[in-house]
Structure 1
Amino acid sequence: MEKIYQEEFEQRVLKAEHPVVVDFYADWCGPCKMLSPVLDELEGEFDDFEFIKVNIDENQELAEQFEVFSIPNVCIFKNGEVADRNVGFASPDAMREFVERNK
Structure 2
Amino acid sequence: MRPVVSNVAEQVSSVDFYYVDVDQSPELAQQFGVQSIPTMVLLKDGEEADRSVGFIPEEKVKEFAQV
Alignment TM-score > 0.5, same fold: yes
Aligned-residue CA RMSD in angstroms? 0.9
Q: Gaps spanning 5+ residues in structure 2: where?
A: none
Determine what percentage of the aligned residue pairs are the same residue.
37
Q: Secondary structure at the match of 1:55?
A: coil
> Separation in 1 of the partners of 2:63 and 2:45?
21
Find the counterpart in structure 2 of residue 68 from structure 1.
34
1:50 aligns with 2:16: yes
Find the counterpart in structure 2 of residue 28 from structure 1.
none
Higher strand residue share: 1
Assess if the C-alpha contact under 8 Å between 2:12 and 2:62 holds in 1: no
What TM-score does the superposition give when structure 2 sets the normalisation length?
0.92
Find the counterpart in structure 2 of residue 81 from structure 1.
47
The offset of 1:94, in angstroms, is: 1.5
Q: Gaps spanning 5+ residues in structure 1: where?
A: 1-34
What TM-score does the superposition give when structure 1 sets the normalisation length?
0.62
Return structure 1 stretches of 4+ with deviation > 6 angstroms.
none
Q: Which has the larger radius of gyration?
A: 1
> Separation in 2 of the partners of 1:92 and 1:47?
15
